[in-house]
Structure 1
């Protein structure tokens, strides 16, 4: 089933900030003492909103803008049914919160009036669906695992623990003398009566159509990016003899390379040693790059040749030969265009301001700390201003798009690289794309979570967040930046606010435990296992 991550960001009337915060606290108090539901009046949220994995309601105080009310949700299925379920569960509370928000100035104003008037009875789900934001980057940790499947497989895991622990109260545990294959057979027979679904084939986590769609979107984006980078060369090749064109490319590239060598080094006190190297990355990807260039030419020629025949009335051979030559000259100019963009970017980065000691409200910091670490999971929400400039705007949007597409290809096994703590995370832009929001539902403490990112994924983290005002000094979008551990964590804390309402549908499960339950369930779905497979499977018990 499709998994969906989205957020709704609504501007709040400044005079209603305190009232809205109190409404969120009252909603939170309807649950048990911990921050994720459970016993108490709010326990039925699990059944009334059966699609939700994680959800948060936060209000960000206004400094450069009016306060912002944000609903973040991660759920199974399409947005429409989810918003309907949410309204049925907490509709009156949501309506009171929406009345604290400002009337939008666009075409959604009349719809807002119909739900926020004193005697309004119109459903609020259509308004929330209309105001939903599409993430610029998102990551689903246990991708393809519906909430019902996660809960069912955890129930199966607990049943296996009971069986292994209590198989023989009065004597030696019979499982201790069995081979892995025999343990599998005996354990399956013991739990099967209560879990008839073990006889059913497991649902595919990533269907073939979704898999193909991920690859098509990534390849299409790269092809489009290469074509855009080739455009200056394509036009110059039409206006210059090829000898002069090559000389111009070489001279310009050498000039840019010399300038980059001079200004590409880190400013004093801002360099962080890292194993990441652009040259090593380039040579490691040389073969895929050559294969891509060949594929790009095939696709571009297949599309361009008929268009050239139509526009110039040339025959197929002439149009095909001319198209190949033209595209090759465009590709020859692409490295120079990239070098020019990198030089422009580096000039901008050297002039960026960063915050060495971002101010953090001590009262808000204590409130955030008070609500953290009650359960194995935690929640983080951040809101930062985006640096201005047309180049920054293009690079950040393109960088986020590429990062999101790459994550869909690489992060499929329940983990983000070597990091095994993230359930759902996403970035989104608000206020006419002048501010960047980040939300994450993760395991362990906030400190260890960011340390994990800093140590293992600082390049991707820097790419996603370097557009934020005050971010630590960065080079070439991916170097340094988040590697400034202390400075980055202080900057991140400064951008956060209290998660006044946060809900988890499986509050005691880590992302790693969900994958462990999945592997155990996959093994128990099989009637028999080979000795080798059983020996591997038993490691998860």
Structure 2
């Protein structure tokens, strides 16, 4: 089933900020015992919104903008049914929250007026659906696992623990002297009456069509990127003879690489120790994909342009295709020059960027955030930062986020769900708000906030720097991926400065880590099989 991550960001009337915060706290107290000791039953939300994995309601105070009320949700299925379920569960509360917000000036204004009018009974779901933001980047740590499946397999795991612990009836355990194959057979026979679904084939986590679509979108993005970067070469080649074109490209490339050599060194006090090398990364990871993308671009571009050239020049199709392939090949050769020029421009901007060495953090808000953290194995964070201005920054954040998003849809599958070498993230996403002038980040993760960011800093600092380096005040970066988040203390303070208290946060499986979800999945997959080979059983039993 499709998993959906989305958010709704609404501007709040400044005078209503405290009132809205109080309403969200009251909802938390009624709906959940976690975090920090609410008064209501935790399971209430479980029954009324049966598709949701995680849900948060936050209010971000604004210094450059009015406060921002954000609904962040991760659920199974399409947005329409989810919004209807949410309205059925907390409709009166949602209406009260919206009355603290400003009326939007776009086409959704009439919907807002209808929903917030006195004694209104107009449905809220259409307005929330109309205001939904599409994430620019998102990651699902347990992709393809529906909430019901996670809960069912969690119950199965507890049942296996109980069976192994209490099946001895006061004597020695009957599982003690069994082989892994025999343990599997006996355990399956004991649990099958209680969990009849073990006799049914498990649905695929990621259907084949979805997998092919992910790879196809990544390939199309690579082709489009090569085409965009080759446009200057296409123009120059149409005006210059090939010897002049080659000389110009070589001269510009030499000029840009010389400038990069001088500008590429870190400014005093901004370098961080790293073994990362652009040359090594290119040779090990990018050389083959780039060569394939360039070759595919030449072939595809020639096929697309050949019919037009054939009609214009009255050439046979294959002769026209050959002409276009030669032209596309020459233009693709200029991509390295264009990339080098863009890197010079980027590095010129990076050397002049301002960063915050000691971002201010409200001590009262910091205490309130700390008070609500670490009540269960999971935690939640939300952040909103200003985006650096400029044409190049705008292009980088749009193309960079799109490419990172498409890559994240492919990489975890090849690394068994890990993001880099981490498996502490359930759901995370970035989105742009306030007419693309601010970047919003939300994450539902395991362990403490400190250890979560330490994981990112140590294991995925390049990707984190790429995604967040466009934020105003971000620690100094080099070429989008170096330094940046590796400035551990400075980055953590900058992140804390951008965060707000999660007034209401809900988890459907509050005792499960992302790793435990995968462990339960592997156990369930083994028990679904009527028989395991000795090798399969030996591997499967490690998860018990």
TM-score by length of 1: 0.98
In structure 1, the residue corresponding to 2:351 is in which secondary structure? helix
Match of 1:516 among 501, 514, 519: 519
Instruction: Give the drift of 1:42.
Output: 5.2
**Cα deviations across residues 2-38 of structure 1 (Å, max 9, x unaligned)?**
0000000000001111110000000001034322999
Structure 1 range deviating more: 442-451 or 257-266: 257-266
Aligned to 1:432: 435
- Counterparts of 1:460-471 in structure 2 under 5 Å? 460-471=463-474
Q: In the superposition, relative to structure 1, how do residues 300 and 38 fare at CA in structure 2: closer, same or farther (>3 Å)? A: farther
Aligned to 1:328: 329
Aligned counterparts of 2:495 and 2:336: Cα–Cα separation in 1: 35
Instruction: Give the drift of 1:320.
Output: 1.3
Is residue 28 of structure 1 aligned with residue 34 of structure 2?
no
In structure 2, the residue corresponding to 1:194 is in which secondary structure? coil
Aligned to 1:108: 108
Aligned counterparts of 2:105 and 2:32: Cα–Cα separation in 1: 39
Aligned counterparts of 1:301 and 1:12: Cα–Cα separation in 2: 52
Aligned counterparts of 2:263 and 2:170: Cα–Cα separation in 1: 76
In structure 2, the residue corresponding to 1:174 is in which secondary structure? coil
Is residue 295 of structure 1 aligned with residue 296 of structure 2?
yes
Aligned to 1:186: 186
Aligned to 1:207: 207
Contact 2:222 2:293 in 1 (8 A): no
Gaps of 5+ in 2: none
Aligned to 1:406: 407
Aligned to 2:363: 362
Contact 1:37 1:503 in 2 (8 A): no
In structure 1, the residue corresponding to 2:385 is in which secondary structure? strand
In structure 2, the residue corresponding to 1:351 is in which secondary structure? coil
Match of 1:452 among 452, 455, 474: 455
Is residue 478 of structure 1 aligned with residue 520 of structure 2?
no
Aligned to 1:371: 372
TM-score by length of 2: 0.98
**Cα deviations across residues 27-58 of structure 1 (Å, max 9, x unaligned)?**
00103432299983452210110000000000
Aligned counterparts of 2:476 and 2:311: Cα–Cα separation in 1: 51
Is residue 222 of structure 1 aligned with residue 222 of structure 2?
yes
The number of residues matched between the two structures is 541
Aligned counterparts of 1:42 and 1:273: Cα–Cα separation in 2: 46
- Counterparts of 1:252-331 in structure 2 under 5 Å? 252-284=252-284, 285-331=286-332
Contact 2:58 2:504 in 1 (8 A): yes
Aligned counterparts of 1:330 and 1:89: Cα–Cα separation in 2: 57
Q: In the superposition, relative to structure 1, how do residues 83 and 50 fare at CA in structure 2: closer, same or farther (>3 Å)? A: same
Aligned counterparts of 1:494 and 1:108: Cα–Cα separation in 2: 32
Match of 2:421 among 418, 421, 432: 418
Structure 1 range deviating more: 64-73 or 32-41: 32-41
Contact 2:358 2:493 in 1 (8 A): yes
Contact 2:387 2:470 in 1 (8 A): yes
- Counterparts of 1:111-122 in structure 2 under 5 Å? 111-122=111-122
In structure 2, the residue corresponding to 1:177 is in which secondary structure? coil
Q: In the superposition, relative to structure 1, how do residues 12 and 90 fare at CA in structure 2: closer, same or farther (>3 Å)? A: same
Instruction: Give the drift of 1:292.
Output: 2.8
Aligned counterparts of 2:253 and 2:357: Cα–Cα separation in 1: 36
Aligned counterparts of 2:41 and 2:452: Cα–Cα separation in 1: 32
In structure 2, the residue corresponding to 1:193 is in which secondary structure? coil
Superposed CA RMSD = 1.2
Match of 1:538 among 534, 537, 541: 541
Instruction: Give the drift of 1:290.
Output: 2.3
**Cα deviations across residues 268-298 of structure 1 (Å, max 9, x unaligned)?**
0100111211101111132333233222222
Aligned counterparts of 1:414 and 1:151: Cα–Cα separation in 2: 19
Contact 2:223 2:296 in 1 (8 A): no
Contact 1:48 1:89 in 2 (8 A): yes
Aligned counterparts of 1:419 and 1:513: Cα–Cα separation in 2: 13
In structure 1, the residue corresponding to 2:419 is in which secondary structure? coil
Contact 2:33 2:40 in 1 (8 A): no
Instruction: Give the drift of 1:396.
Output: 1.1
Match of 2:504 among 496, 501, 504: 501
Aligned to 2:240: 240
Is residue 64 of structure 1 aligned with residue 64 of structure 2?
yes
Contact 2:230 2:331 in 1 (8 A): yes
**Cα deviations across residues 282-318 of structure 1 (Å, max 9, x unaligned)?**
1113233323322222222222211322343322233
Aligned counterparts of 1:51 and 1:38: Cα–Cα separation in 2: 23
Aligned to 1:141: 141
Contact 2:36 2:375 in 1 (8 A): no
Contact 2:343 2:479 in 1 (8 A): yes
Contact 1:305 1:316 in 2 (8 A): yes
**Cα deviations across residues 476-521 of structure 1 (Å, max 9, x unaligned)?**
0000000000000000000000000000000000000000000000
In structure 2, the residue corresponding to 1:175 is in which secondary structure? coil
Contact 1:36 1:503 in 2 (8 A): no
Match of 2:446 among 439, 443, 446: 443
In structure 1, the residue corresponding to 2:192 is in which secondary structure? helix
